[in-house]
Copies of this chain bind each other. A is one copy, B any other.
Amino acid sequence: MDLKPLLVKNDERILLVVADGLGGLPKDDRTELEAAQTPNLDRLAAQSSLGLTEPVAPGITPGSGPAHLALFGYDPLSHEVGRGVLEALGVGLVLTPEDLCIRANFASIKDGVIVDRRAGRIPTEENRRLCSRLQEEISDIEGVKIIIKPSKEHRFVVVFKGYGLSDRLPDTDPQHEGAPPVAVEPLAPEAERSARVTREFLNRATDLLKAETQANYILLRGFSHYPSFEPISERYGLKAACIASYPMYRGIARLVGMEVLETGNSWDDELETLSQTQDQFDFFYLHFKETDMRGEDGDFAGKVRLIEALDQRLPQILALNFSVLAITSDHSTPALLRAHSWHPNPFLLHSRYCRVEGVEGFSERRCQQGVLGQFPATQVMPLLLAHARRLKKYGA
């Protein structure tokens, strides 16, 4: 539903807290959220409405891109974003629709076979050194400008700036060790030139890297162009800001037109940024990444501790007195699965206008029993706007 005709401006501020991968699965009958001691969240839940959000569709495990797009109100099935574009946005590149974006990994190759797809997860410093070296030596291929930017650990971004570059190229990453890289063959006739530029780039880059012990190869994935999104300012009438330390999330926020604020690497840095800028925006997207990482590592206890750390910061968040506060996740990352999952997300909504739970406790099961029930994540934004009194009546 197009909300634009209903939008109203006012001073009510909205805070959307995304604890990445928060939802989990039970171990000894309790999920990570249930095992965690969360007295502040539990108390807040009693004065809030709870529910469960479904990022894409039942049974579908979303990547971070689709999961965040859904939370921001953009149907992820009709708004696809390539990994290359997300990474490029994340490292702060300014893109045009002609640019071809590629997500790259430093990798280790031996006798033509990939022996480590992440080059031993080299330190970010090492990544920076290698990227500068590559950028210095490779700036142009067939009139296409080459931009190389480090991300974190083994990840970096390559952007080909030029006209008529097609994204119909395969990932060169074979997805598992022990296999040779996938050859760069065009998937459509119009990708012939892109393929040639890519091959030349790979040849020159691996020549430059051949003396490296770990990062002696490059894998390329997610060839993609920058898609065009209706900005959140138009779609929801919100001046919106993103506070996230990880590049990918900053990238997706930029894609939907949020202002991406400078912040530090820790949750406390992010909260400090929020505290300092709270009066300058109508809407904040505040992203906590680490819960997801512990889930991906299969570290149940570690995820529990991080949920408790979030709980300890809740009084500080509440003290900022946002009119509307939502606490949720983009997707679940159960430690049991060591991966994103298809299970719906716990969702807590706090405002003056909630039908409150009246029962303490914040967990997947409590949310399932909650006032809001289970609903598509794309409906979160309309709900937040309603609670901020930013949507007028539909019809007379």
Contacts and interface: CB of A to CB of B under 8 A. Distances in A.
A358 B353 contact: no
A394 B353 contact: no
A178 interface: no
A394 B63 contact: yes
A13 interface: no
A356 B394 contact: no
A354 to B, nearest CB: 8
Contact of A64 (B29, B57, B64, B396): B396
B391 A61 contact: yes
A225 interface: no
Contacts of A57: 1, 379, 382
B355 A25 contact: yes
26 contacts: A1-B57, A25-B353, A25-B354, A29-B358, A56-B394, A58-B382, A59-B379, A59-B382, A59-B385, A62-B393, A63-B396, A65-B395, A65-B396, A66-B394, A66-B395, A76-B394, A80-B395, A222-B396, A334-B353, A336-B352, A340-B393, A342-B383, A343-B353, A343-B355, A368-B373, A373-B374
Interface string A365-396: 10011110111000101111111000111111
Contact of A58 (B62, B342, B371, B383): B383
A350 interface: no
* Main DSSP-derived SS at the A contact region: loop
Given A341-B353, A353-B341, A394 B61 contact: yes
A1 B391 contact: no
A371 B368 contact: yes
- Interface size on A, as a range, is 35 or more
Contacts of A6: 60
Contacts of A353: 25, 334, 336-337, 341, 343
**Copies held by the complex:** 2
Contacts of A66: 394-395
Given A59-B381, A65-B395, 5 more contacts: A52-B373, A59-B383, A61-B392, A63-B394, A342-B391
A58 B25 contact: no
A383 to B, nearest CB: 4
A1 B394 contact: no
A154 interface: no
Contacts of A352: 336
Interface in A324-363: 334, 336-337, 339-343, 352-356, 358
